[in-house]
Each structure stands twice: as C-alpha cells, then as structure tokens.
Homo-oligomer: A and B are copies of this chain.
Amino acid sequence: MTVTQATFDNPPLLLGPGPSPVSERIRAALARPTLGHLDPRFLDLLDDVGQRLRHVFGTENATTFPVSGTGSAGMEAAMVNLVESGDTVVVGVNGVFGTRLAEMGRRLGARVVTVEAPWGEAIPQAQLLEAVRANPGTRLLAVVHAETSTGVHQPLELLGESLRGGDTLLVVDAVTSLGGVPLQVDAWGIDVCYSGTQKCLGVPPGLAPITFSPRALERIRTRKTPSSSWYLDVSLIAGYLGSERRYHHTAPINLIYGLHEGLVELEEEGLGARFERHREVGERLQGELGARGFVPFTAEGVRLPQLTAVHLPEDREEGPLRRRLMAEHGIEVGGGLGPAAGKIWRIGLMGHGAQHTSVDRVLQGVDALLEASN
C-alpha cells in the first residue's frame, strides 16, 4: 500500500471501456473553489448544465440533470422511479447492461420479460415490439443503445414511434453512446434516457446525466406507492432543480464543474463534429486491427465506433498481452465481461481519447507485442 506522487506519474492512455481520458481543462475545472449547493452562482451553473445536456440529449425535457452517482446510478434512477412492484417490463438483453436492467427490474418486484440476442448482436426492433404486444399492459420497454460489454450499436429509431399512444414507456441506456453517436431523445420518442460522464463526454466518473419526458413524470406522479429510493426520487429532486430550490441532498459541486466544462468543450467542437471524429477514428482502428488478424466480436453493421470489441489474432490469450500493453506501452484497454471474459479486448476511443494519435499508439503497441511473441 504505497500511494505516492509516483501513483500519478506517467498516467496511462485510457483506451478501455471507460473512464476515458480527461482534458487538463476539465481537470482544472474540478479544482475550482467549492461553492454552496444553494449559492445562486452554483445554481446558475447547474441550470446551464441542464440546458447543455438538453442539447446533447436532443430534448426539450425540463427535467434533465446529472444524477449524483455514476452511470449505474442513472440506470437505477430510471428504473426505481418508473417501476412498481407487479409491473410488467420488457428488457432487451444482449450483454452486461441489459442483464443489469433486468436485474434491477426484478429487485423492484417487476415481472421482467427479456428479449435476448447473442452477445455481439443487436436485438431486432420487431422482436422488442412483439414482446410488448405479447404482454398486454407492459409498463416499460428498456434497451441499451450502446452495449459497453459487446460494442453493439442497438438500432432504436422505430421503437418510440410504435409505442406512441400506448401505455409503454421507452427507457434507453445511453451510457456509452451519449456524445459518441447520434441520439435524439425527443425525435425517437424516448421517455427516460440516462448516461455517464466518463465515456464520450470525457469527464471523470461520478455523475449520470438523465432526462425524463413529461409522460414519464406523469407516470411517476401517479405511482401507487412511493419509489423505494429516497435518494433517487425524481419527484423530490425536481424540488431542488425547480424554482423553489428545495434542499434535497448536497450536490457534488466540483464534479458538476467538471461536467460543465466538458459540455462547454463539446459545444465548441460541435456535436456533429464530435460524432464524426468518433466515427472516423473508430473505423480506422477497426480496419487496421482487422488487417492484423484481430477478429471482430461484434456483428457487422452494428459496430460502435467508440468501443471496439475484438478477439486477438490466432486466439492468443488476451490477459497477458493486455497487461503488457499497459506495462510496456502505457495503454489501458479492457478485457471481456461475462461469457466474453478472457476472450476479447475492448478498446475505447471515447471523448478525448478518440484521436488518430490514440489509434497510432495502440497499433504501435500491438505491432510490438505481436512481433515480439512471434
């Protein structure tokens, strides 16, 4: 147990599934003087964060804010606010995060109907909608837009339109997609969408941007029982976000400074330019790895540019090479989770990590490791 300055010397290039690299500018923002959570200056900043998040989510939803917890707290905030015991919920499961959504639903007493696809493949939208139709009274459909465990880019555009007019709310996990690939909460008819700061927004972990549609808020207002969570109860948090500024819990002030700065950076770059940057470097990496014998884990046509999941050439053992990539080349990439553990690498090119220089460094490292071991 030795924590010294050396702990922070030569920090690795973060090209795993998150956290992604954080710019000096955002880190400097974290270090700004702490203000009180009821200080009008801080409240202005928090309002500005909400406005900027609306832009990134593609929504007009008034109730758009950072949950005071990591991305999984955002998932829990979505589920614990919307789900009541006895509800039927349909969840798309093709990786760790769909599995987690289903688990949260069960813990809340819901009857969870899963629609499964093999890890690495998308779930056909028609199957998700069919499950909703086959289970009358389904209260919500939850699906993961960017499966961090598999690199799958789940198509969503047809879901909201088909659910419109019915009583099934659409919940979307955008932890790894927000800021990396296009997402349109309002146009796609999404009722609750949550994300994390440590992926394509390039901000340290600890906050979960979330947005609730008026329809979702109405569902919450008419719950039969209060949500089992006081901390994540959006009907209470709204009292702090709104004009009453009613104290609920102390906001994580300095982290919110970091998120604000990240959203300012995003505005300067432009959302479209950021998507294009992620697309360009991700496609380049995937092409170059393919040329070196890496085999995609993710099905063709649904590969996220910001998260590349690949088998190693000739089924080489991933763990030792991954650790050497860190030790000898200073690059962090991720291993597989669940059934993909020990089988794949997950390489994130997210936020500030989505650069050609990142691709160059990964390829140099990979070439050196593969050559040395041949």
Residues of chain A at the chain B interface (Cβ within 8 Å)? 1-3, 7-8, 11-12, 14, 16, 18-19, 21-22, 27-28, 30-37, 39, 41, 44-45, 47-48, 51, 68-73, 75-76, 80, 100, 103-104, 107-109, 196, 198, 204-206, 226-231, 247-255, 258, 260, 332, 337
Copies in the complex: 2
Residue of B18, B37, B227 touching A250 (CB-CB under 8 A): B18
A44-B7 in contact (CB<8A): yes
| Chain B residues near A204 (CB-CB < 8 A) | 34, 252-255
Q: Distance in Å from the Cβ of A8 to the closest Cβ of chain B?
A: 5
A252-B27 in contact (CB<8A): no
A45 — nearest CB in chain B belongs to which residue?
Answer: B3
Residue of B36, B51, B109, B255 touching A252 (CB-CB under 8 A): B255
Instruction: Using A33-B22, A206-B68, A206-B252 as known contacts, say yes or no to A39 and B12 having CB atoms under 8 A apart.
Output: yes
B39-A332 in contact (CB<8A): yes
B73-A205 in contact (CB<8A): no
B11-A35 in contact (CB<8A): yes
CA distance A72 to B249 in the complex (A): 6
A69-B72 in contact (CB<8A): no
| Chain B residues near A255 (CB-CB < 8 A) | 204, 206, 252, 254-255
A260-B3 in contact (CB<8A): yes
